[in-house]
A and B are shown apart, each in its own frame.
Chain A
């Protein structure tokens, strides 16, 4: 049974005692909980004490007009359904009852089977209305969260390098020029793509995103170009594809170097000819989109390894934007932290916590190998743990609490592609200390050396914990 016992409570308001008693017995036998009242006053009082899900209301009551009682019920207990039962029927009464919000109108004598069926329908309607209301509230919450998310996605242009990028975006966004965005993972390449689209002439049209690394290579083609029913096993319906979806707008292809080479060639043809054919289709379709691509691989490496075809690269690289890692633009950390704190506090329904100065210093000192994405996760973690509206060092993730020397740092650029033995040893010691949160005894065990040896090596490599 879908409904619980409270949702199956019925109040019968009728001055005819024989009807009340028998109807009550019948409804109880069919699993409903019932309450009875012989007057409108008693009925309304019963509703105030414990509102019933459904009211069976006689139109002719000794102390009130049934339609007025119906008005009162609908005003005070809008959630409850009302079925009118009357021996004083007329078409006008029936129409008036429905107009005033009754679920149904039944003339006496009625077949109990009809009443039971209507009662079930009325309760079902009530339950659906409640579900709809709950979904509406959920949708409103999601809309609010989406608004917050969109706020979060606005890039921060505080540092000089980001200010220069903002100028470049403002200058080239209105054109239809293709853009290639590069940068480490988590720097905010997608956020930059959003910014370009929102400042472009195509802003009112869709921005369609495809992460080439998130799809099996065999699926990228069908996602991008679409297919017609029967094009391959499992193609049960036509699917227009993302190029069609992006018509008039922008197509953002993330991790472009993960796109299979033959598909890169096919996509290049679309960019050159402005036409494409869906899988299994004999018809060419017009393509109308601006393309923004992104990759976290160094371009030279991607080209050298043939992960990115050079002919496609030249086509998509009209403008190249390199989003610098967060460690190289620490001026952006404070405004990003403020944005994230506001966002997560609102999401959690908490007061906005203050960040203690020493915790803030930790955030500035940290190297952020995971870039803005890592900063965002760290702030979410801290806001969840914040006590008394303060984020101290203890509320930060353990990695950030570590002394700088023990933190995971991005691998240094190697001078000739080969690391020296000393560099490798230093790096290994740092990793062991990081894994053991600075515990030298455990780090020495992990490295398979004596603790004094570890101390000596730390001294030699100027490692301080």
Chain B
């Protein structure tokens, strides 16, 4: 008897929900097996007095740990985000972002040009998830088809909306409608799920993540818009 996933796959039409189920279950099973391998390695490491075997077991455990982290990140990227929001000053959010980008991409520190308009707005966000979503725009920019070295980041407040956008020149044309669709760009260590998750995080906080491509300048502008209040937090 075919499973639901197999049945849909046979029709050449796997739903996103079933794909997520498949990924999560596969990740779960592999992580359980990795756990058994990790425990077994640790036990052998305790039983042996051979220094060489101990050293090899250490390497094996590092590999298991890396694989576990990859699977954990894969599970997280298909999970539905559930933000826990709290009032957060927009200027603090931008300051945190600047630190995060400098830390995550130290070699690209000079490439990011920040243009931040002073604003006393307060966001109602899950800071950690929102930071992750905004950083995903940078990851995407640096990973795919970046023409030139520069990425411009801009933050501003207009009325009750906070806008954060990054502008980057692309070597290839981007279809904004397809831009956050999953599995668009799959490569080594990268599964094309980040922008979809970023959009889900922003939407879950009553915001929007949009993209606009200017064919003339071959520039992609991706924008996060989030509601804000201009009262002090």
Contact = CB atoms under 8 A, between A and B. Distances in A.
Given A90-B79, A91-B82, A22 B28 contact: no
B37 A109 contact: yes
B28 A112 contact: no
B229 interface: no
A87 B35 contact: yes
B152 interface: no
Q: Which of B32, B40, B42, B61 has the most CB of A within 10 A?
A: B32
Interface in B207-223: none
Nearest to B68: A109
A16 B35 contact: yes
Nearest to B67: A109
A88 B24 contact: yes
B204 to A, nearest CB: 13
Interface stretch (A23-31, A65-73, A340-348): A23-31
Interface in B2-39: 24, 27-29, 31-39
A87 B40 contact: no
B32 A112 contact: no
Contacts of B147: none
Interface string B60-71: 010011001000
B38 A87 contact: no
Given A89-B75, A108-B68, A18 B36 contact: yes
Nearest to B126: A91
A73 B13 CA distance: 43
B72 interface: yes
Interface string A8-36: 00000000101100110110010000000
Contacts, number: 67
A107 interface: yes
A260 B37 CA distance: 80
Given A87-B31, A91-B82, A112 B24 contact: no
Main secondary structure of the interface of B (DSSP, over half): helix
A92 B65 CA distance: 23
Contacts of B24: 88
Nearest to B36: A18
A398 B28 CA distance: 80
A107 B68 CA distance: 9
A41 interface: no
Contacts of A88: 24, 28, 75
Nearest to A112: B42
Contacts of A92: 82
Nearest to A85: B35
Contact of B43 (A26, A60, A87, A91): A26
A88 B21 CA distance: 12
A110 B35 contact: yes
B157 to A, nearest CB: 29
B40 A29 contact: no
Contacts of B28: 60, 87-88
Interface in A77-125: 87-92, 107-113
Interface of B: 24, 27-29, 31-40, 42-43, 46, 61, 64-65, 68, 72, 75-76, 79, 82
11 contacts: A16-B35, A18-B39, A87-B28, A87-B31, A90-B76, A108-B32, A108-B34, A108-B68, A109-B65, A111-B42, A111-B65
Given A16-B36, A19-B32, 5 more contacts: A89-B72, A90-B76, A107-B72, A108-B35, A113-B42
